[in-house]
Amino acid sequence: MEKIKDLKSELSELDKKHFLHPTSSIKMQQESGPAYIFVKGRGIYLEEISGETFIDGMSSLWNVNIGHGREELGRVANEQMNTMAFSSAFSTYSHEPAIRLAKKLSELTPGDLNVCFFTSGGSESNDSAIKMARHYWKLKGKPERKKILSRKLAYHGVSMGATSATGIPEFHEMTSSLAPDFVYAPSPNARSWSEIEDVDLTCIDETIKIIEKEGPETIAAFIMEPIQGAGGMIIPPNGYLKAMREICDKYGILLIADEIITGFGRTGKMFGVEHWDVTPDMMTVAKGITSGYIPLGAVIFSDRIHQELIELSTGTLFHGFTYSGHPTACMVGLKNIEIIENENLVQNTEQRGIELSKGLTKLEEKHWSVGGIRNKGLLGAFELYQDCTSKKRFDPSLGVAKRVVDECLKRKLIVRPITYEGTDTIAIAPPLISTKEEIEQIVSIFSDAVSVVESQLNG
Ligand code: PMP
Q: What is the pLDDT of residues 223-233, one digit of tens each?
A: 999 999 999 99
Residue 198 pLDDT grade (very low, low, confident, very high; cuts 50, 70, 90):
confident
CA of 156 to the centre of ligand 1 (A): 5
**Are 359 and 176 spatial neighbours (Cβ–Cβ below 8 Å)?**
no
* pLDDT beyond 80 at 200: no
Q: Is the beta carbon of 290 within 6 A of some atom in ligand 1?
A: no
Choose one of 123, 153, 267, 289 to mutate for the ligand 1 pocket test, by most ligand atoms within 8 angstroms of C-beta.
Answer: 123
Angle at 228 between CA 223 and CA 233, to 5 degrees: 175
| Closest atom of ligand 1 relative to the 159 alpha carbon | 16
Predicted local distance difference test score (pLDDT) of residue 124: 98
Q: Is the beta carbon of 258 within 6 A of some atom in ligand 1?
A: yes
Question: How many angstroms separate the CA atoms of 172 and 447, rounded?
Answer: 35
Question: How many angstroms separate the CA atoms of 181 and 146, rounded?
Answer: 7
- Residue 204: CB atoms within 10 Å: 20
Question: What is each CA distance from 9 to 34, 54, 359, in whole angstroms?
Answer: 10, 20, 39
Question: How many angstroms separate the CA atoms of 238 and 410, rounded?
Answer: 37
Kindly report the backbone phi and psi dihedral angles of residue 425, in degrees, each rounded to the nearest multiple of 5, phi listed first.
Answer: -105, 140
Residue 37 pLDDT grade (very low, low, confident, very high; cuts 50, 70, 90):
very high
Predicted local distance difference test score (pLDDT) of residue 232: 96
* pLDDT beyond 90 at 199: no
Kindly report the backbone phi and psi dihedral angles of residue 435, in degrees, each rounded to the nearest multiple of 5, phi listed first.
Answer: -95, 170
Predicted local distance difference test score (pLDDT) of residue 197: 86
Q: What is the mean pLDDT of residues 71-100?
A: 98
Predicted local distance difference test score (pLDDT) of residue 438: 98
Q: Is the beta carbon of 289 within 6 A of some atom in ligand 1?
A: no
Superfamily name with CATH number, domain 36-66+344-458: Aspartate Aminotransferase, domain 1 (3.90.1150.10)
Taking phi over 0 as left and psi of -120 to 50 as alpha, with beta for the rest, 247 belongs to: alpha
* pLDDT beyond 80 at 141: yes
Average pLDDT, the chain: 97
| Closest atom of ligand 1 relative to the 262 alpha carbon | 3
Taking phi over 0 as left and psi of -120 to 50 as alpha, with beta for the rest, 119 belongs to: beta
Domain locations along the chain: 36-66+344-458, 71-342
Predicted local distance difference test score (pLDDT) of residue 176: 96
How many whole angstroms from its chain centre is CA 189?
Answer: 17
Predicted local distance difference test score (pLDDT) of residue 459: 74
Q: From atom 13 of ligand 1, which residue's Cα is the shortest distance away?
A: 122
Choose one of 124, 260, 296, 420 to mutate for the ligand 1 pocket test, by most ligand atoms within 8 angstroms of C-beta.
Answer: 260
Residue 313 pLDDT grade (very low, low, confident, very high; cuts 50, 70, 90):
very high
| Range in 2-6, 58-62, 226-230, 417-421 with the lowest mean pLDDT | 2-6
Element (H, E) at 432: none
Q: Is the beta carbon of 430 within 6 A of some atom in ligand 1?
A: no
CA of 154 to the centre of ligand 1 (A): 10
* pLDDT beyond 90 at 115: yes
Q: What are the tens digits of pLDDT across the range 152-176?
A: 999 999 999 999 999 999 999 999 9
* pLDDT beyond 80 at 146: yes
Percent of the chain with pLDDT over 90: 96
| Domain 71-342 listed as CATH 3.80.30.20 | no
What ipTM was reported for this prediction?
0.99
| Closest atom of ligand 1 relative to the 230 alpha carbon | 5
Q: Is the beta carbon of 261 within 6 A of some atom in ligand 1?
A: yes
Q: Is the beta carbon of 189 within 6 A of some atom in ligand 1?
A: no
Angle at 373 between CA 367 and CA 375, to 5 degrees: 145
Q: Is the beta carbon of 259 within 6 A of some atom in ligand 1?
A: no
Predicted local distance difference test score (pLDDT) of residue 286: 98
* pLDDT beyond 80 at 237: yes
State the amino acid at position 294 in one-letter form: I
Question: How many angstroms separate the CA atoms of 446 and 407, rounded?
Answer: 9
Q: What are the tens digits of pLDDT across the range 334-380?
A: 999 999 999 999 999 999 999 999 999 999 999 999 999 999 999 99
Percent of the chain with pLDDT over 70: 100
CA of 365 to the centre of ligand 1 (A): 33
Predicted local distance difference test score (pLDDT) of residue 1: 81
| Range in 2-6, 90-94, 133-137, 404-408 with the lowest mean pLDDT | 2-6
